[in-house]
Amino acid sequence: MATKKTRKRKPKSEAQEATTAPEASPEPTPAPQPSKPLKRAPVAPRAMSRDMVAEAVLAELSDSRHMSARDARSLAEAVADRLRLDDIDAGEIAVGMCFDLRREQDYVYPNGKNKCKMRGRRPVMRKPAEIDTLVIHQTACEFGVSRRAVRAAGGDVELARARRALDVACHVMSYRRGYFVASHPFRAYVNGAGRLNPRAVHLEVEGRYPGLLDDPETLPREDLQTTWGGAPSEFTGDTYEGACAAVDFMVRQCAAEGIKLKYVAPHRISSDKRRSDPGEEIWRSVALGYAYEKHGLKPQRESRWNQGRPVPVAWDPDGIGEY
């Protein structure tokens, strides 16, 4: 049987090996794996502007058969305001400044709910001698303003915000930034405080304030427990100065119209549902500390009728009973 001879190969030089070396085969493609959801860092939702919220609510209400277009728009605007999503920067404004908008008042209110007592299409006007009481309220909210309203005000943010007072049951509203707005004639019968209305002029103080201030010596947060509708607003120096300037204006203007104000009263005494209105801090500082101390308006601490709640001792050393 013939044997197979093997040939010895001569060793190749490094150069020859470099030129003759076979190309490296590509790495094998890995088999496809089942897809897994990617873990992403949570993304904060984009802040919605006030107008976006109003339009979203309006879209939800567009199919309602029980609400007019005007009422739907009013409700949408109110929801946006309640959420405090106003993203419009306001300019500088002087503390104590007055927007007198009484000539703009058309007595047409959102949702068709009259803020004035009406006789036909005209508001009921009282005799000056019938009016003697300044009633102080808090709005229990902070007012926003839409871009549409700003455009209607010629780009003036605070004028647009001031016009919100035209739809509130008050004669004057003081805003947190320190200015105030005259929105109804003082002789107009405004539906602001039940049986006090025939003899009252009404001042609203913008903000959400606690019925009781927090007592640091007790564990419960009295301020949080007695604030209606959310976290309490800060009662700032500007807010106080604006409310006092509004009191000055009301006393002075009423006197010029033959109206002699003698008393200051809280909304609380005319309504069981307005327990925190206007709140301890406003009553102590604006009613007692200013309306009474400067202008001599006698505090009216309880209703003449079986109605409302008296001013408590926590608000006033001469108050009656508990909060």
Q: Give yes or no: residues 72 and 207 share one domain.
A: no
Q: What are the C-alpha distances in Å from 27 to residues 19, 24, 33, 186? A: 22, 9, 17, 90
The domain in which residue 234 lies consists of 94-299
What is the pLDDT averaged over residues 170-181? 97
d(CA 302, CA 4): 128
d(CA 252, CA 260): 10
Q: Give yes or no: residues 76 and 195 share one domain.
A: no
Q: Does residue 23 register a pLDDT over 60? A: no
pTM: 0.76
Q: How far is CA 216 from the centre of its chain?
A: 27
Q: What percent of the chain has pLDDT over 70?
A: 76
pLDDT for position 81: 59
Q: What are the C-alpha distances in Å from 230 to residues 11, 74, 171, 226, 273? A: 91, 21, 26, 10, 17
Element containing residue 39 per DSSP (H, E): none
Do the domain assignments include residue 20?
Answer: no
In tens, the pLDDT along 285-298 reads 999 999 999 999 99
Do the domain assignments include residue 175?
Answer: yes
Q: Give yes or no: residues 157 and 138 share one domain.
A: yes
Among 87, 117, 141, give the residue marking a domain's end: 87
In tens, the pLDDT along 44-76 reads 334 455 566 667 777 777 666 667 776 777 677
Domain count, the chain: 2
Q: Give yes or no: residues 148 and 264 share one domain.
A: yes
In tens, the pLDDT along 198-250 reads 999 999 999 999 999 999 999 999 999 999 888 999 999 999 999 999 999 99
d(CA 120, CA 8): 124
